[in-house]
Structure 1
Amino acid sequence: MKILVTGGCGFIGSAVVRKAIARGIEIVNLDALTYAGCLDNVASVANSPLYSFEHADICDRAALDRIFKTHKPDAVLHLAAESHVDRSIDGPLAFLNTNIMGTGTLLEASRAYWEVNDRPAGFRFHHVSTDEVFGSLGETGEFTEETPYSPRSPYSASKASSDHLVRAWHETYGLPVVLTNCSNNYGPYQFPEKLIPVVILKALAGQPIPVYGKGENVRDWLHVEDHAEALLTVLLNGENGRSYNIGGDSEARNIDLVRMLCEILDRLRPAAHPHADLITYVTDRPGHDQRYAIDPTRVRTELNWKPSYTLAEGLEQTVDWYLQNERWLRALQNRPGVNQRLGKVA
């Protein structure tokens, strides 16, 4: 089998690429190598005969047509996206361009390829989305596949739009699709603008660790290796036209998560004072959703998937990986947005 993975040099995409190739699946990695894309993320498989790389933008229809014609993939796993909420607050139009127009362009290129090859029944377009499209929860409840969409940031609105496009291409043109909506990912190779690598970077530098508001926002945390496993499971075995919510069963308040990270760093890289002393509360970002929680019943019962990492195990593994790979982390520090707090209220 050959899968065209978009965004395969990013955090989640590279995890999928590494896992798929380890299983003997052929991969074509299409990535525009924007600020968060990193070839080092796939260096371990770059010389595999199962791996091909295409430097291209999903908004470039001519490039997409060439890639489909050259590589003849059996499926598309679409991960390429602008994904940082703070960046979407500062510059929303880039998110609309990539997440909406890029997805639309990729859908049309996929449809053209599918139709010119007589609509093979085994072809599949797998669109990867986020639980943020559902909005914010109160103290109780969980998102299901039937939860109405209620996006509250430019990022989540752009992802909600792309979800609707994928469903429309399935209903209108019959394009075989599956969709997944995941909770917050963490793990190795995450670009250092997201919470967990930010905490680690700041702690190692002895700098203030920023926490939005009072740190009471709740997220469900999913290890990226578990997510990669789930994505391949859905792509290979999911029902055509169906969506699946993927969660880690690991809810935590942001402040509790930060304290857990500090305790791990105290053990693995002790400093003169506890790392938690660096925690600093900063002005909350606009439209900050209070709580996310995923009900993963469908993917568990229909496809027999469940996460393998507990939050404690996953955080320990993640911190240890960053400490063992400081060169990778430091190399990204000069890229745009790192060590900046984006999207704050003026």
Structure 2
Amino acid sequence: MTILVTGGAGFIGANFVLDWLAGCDEPVVNLDKLTYAGNPETLASLQGDKRHIFVQGDIGDAALVSRLLAEHQPRAVVNFAAESHVDRSIHGPGEFIETNIMGTFRLLESVRGYWQQLPREELDRFVPRDDGSSVIASEAWQSSLTQQSFRFLHVSTDEVYGSLSKDDPAFAETNRYEPNSPYSASKAASDHLVRAWHHTYGLPVLTTNCSNNYGPYHFPEKLIPLMIVNALAGKALPVYGDGMQVRDWLYVKDHCSAIRTVLQGGRLGETYNVGGWNEKPNIEIVQTVCKLLDDMRPKADGSSYASQITYVTDRPGHDRRYAIDARKLEKELGWKPAETFDTGIRKTVEWYLANPDWVAHVQSGAYRDWVQKQYA
């Protein structure tokens, strides 16, 4: 058997591929467009590993996706492919519409065509001949891959639910969608498409909506890696507004384990929220990173990295609070995060300190220009 992972060179997707192949020998076909945030260096440890088949390409390329599906006959597709940075969506929403909405639509259509040619159930794999005998019709049938056993798992975000006040209960799977940014609106649309392809065509789908991820291999445009990289470089640590925006934080390896759990046992057509049970304001996150760096990589002059914190103009339409209620996933499938925020953030800072070459290589001139413009 094989699985197809889309967006498997990005932050969460690459961690999932590495985690998957560390735990089993089932091959992964990894399709990634390699945009600015997709980094093949993250997958360097898999060079020469026959279980990992990397293909550079777009989920919107129907011919390519259909060829990969026909050639590798995956039992599941796990869709991470997305443009995901809110600030970039504000300044350039077109790419988010094209990838997150149109790309998801084209991917769903390619997968639907592949899925529909699979046998409905295992007994159908033998096709009768005119003489009364039977013959096995395809390699997919020989492996007992059927429409019933196939899965399409769509990875999404808690931002589709909108914003919470400080006293509101955490987002449950039954919350209405109220996206407030071009990014979250595009992801909400993709979620609706996935759900519609299940109810209209019967495609066996699963959806996960996660809270803010952090951990190794995170591109330094997001809050935690940006703070680590800027702090070590002696640069300002930009904090939007008053810094009291609250997010739930999920260690990326916990997210990977949740996806594996849902892929294995989730109920078809269902959505599962994935959270870390770690609600914290952004300024507390930044201060925690500074304290860890003070301990692990103290400055020569003895000052704290917190002295580099700089408050900047808030993001337009900045959601005040996100919080995920992940009790459904725990109750139905027994999943809980293994890391607390204290253990996860320490592991994250340690990883960045131990991997300066990776950080240096992903910080291209285009990246530096964007950060300078964004946080000026």
After TM superposition, give the deviation of residue 69 of structure 1 in Å: 1.0
After TM superposition, give the deviation of residue 174 of structure 1 in Å: 0.2
Secondary structure of the equivalent of 1:199? helix
Distance across 1 between alignment mates of 2:365 and 2:32: 17
Q: Which of the residues 128, 134, 155 maps onto 2:155? A: 128
1:234 and 2:277 aligned: no
1:217-228 residue pairs with structure 2 within 5 A? 217-228=245-256
1:288 and 2:289 aligned: no
CA contact (8 A) 2:89 2:182 kept: yes
After TM superposition, give the deviation of residue 344 of structure 1 in Å: 6.1
CA contact (8 A) 1:133 1:150 kept: yes
Higher relative contact order (CA 8 A, sep 6+): 1
Instruction: Give the number of aligned pairs.
Output: 346
Q: Which residue of 2 aligns with 1:109?
A: 110
Distance 1:105 1:30, change over 3 A: same
Secondary structure of the equivalent of 1:5? strand
Distance across 1 between alignment mates of 2:291 and 2:185: 36
Distance 1:96 1:181, change over 3 A: same
After TM superposition, give the deviation of residue 49 of structure 1 in Å: 2.2
Q: Which residue of 2 aligns with 1:308?
A: 338
Secondary structure of the equivalent of 2:319? coil
Q: Which of the residues 150, 159, 164 maps onto 2:192? A: 164
Q: Which residue of 1 aligns with 2:230?
A: 202
TM-score of the pair, normalised by structure 1: 0.97
1:297 and 2:298 aligned: no
Instruction: Give the letter aligned to residue 106 of structure 2.
Output: T
Distance across 2 between alignment mates of 1:114 and 1:190: 33
Instruction: Give the letter aligned to residue 171 of structure 1.
Output: H
Distance 1:136 1:329, change over 3 A: same
Provide structure 2 residue ranges, at least 5 long, that are not aligned to the other structure: 121-146
CA contact (8 A) 2:238 2:375 kept: no
After TM superposition, give the deviation of residue 343 of structure 1 in Å: 9.0
Q: Which of the residues 361, 364, 375 maps onto 1:334? A: 364
CA contact (8 A) 1:215 1:255 kept: yes
Q: Which residue of 2 aligns with 1:38?
A: 39
CA contact (8 A) 1:193 1:339 kept: no
Q: Which residue of 1 aligns with 2:81?
A: 80
After TM superposition, give the deviation of residue 70 of structure 1 in Å: 1.1
Q: Which residue of 1 aligns with 2:6?
A: 6
Distance across 2 between alignment mates of 1:130 and 1:4: 20
Distance across 2 between alignment mates of 1:42 and 1:90: 30
Instruction: Give the letter aligned to residue 189 of structure 1.
Output: Y
After TM superposition, give the deviation of residue 2 of structure 1 in Å: 1.3
After TM superposition, give the deviation of residue 43 of structure 1 in Å: 1.4
Provide structure 1 residue ranges, at least 5 long, that are not aligned to the other structure: none
Q: Which residue of 1 aligns with 2:139?
A: none
1:93 and 2:120 aligned: no
What is the root-mean-square deviation in Å for CA atoms of aligned residues? 1.4
Q: Which residue of 2 aligns with 1:22?
A: 22
Distance 1:342 1:83, change over 3 A: farther
Distance across 1 between alignment mates of 2:193 and 2:308: 44
For 1:230-277, what per-residue CA distance to the aligned partner results, in whole angstroms no more than 9, with x for missing partners?
011111110111100000001110000100000000011101210000
Q: Which residue of 1 aligns with 2:124?
A: none
Q: Which residue of 2 aligns with 1:264?
A: 292
Instruction: Give the letter aligned to residue 23 of structure 2.
Output: R
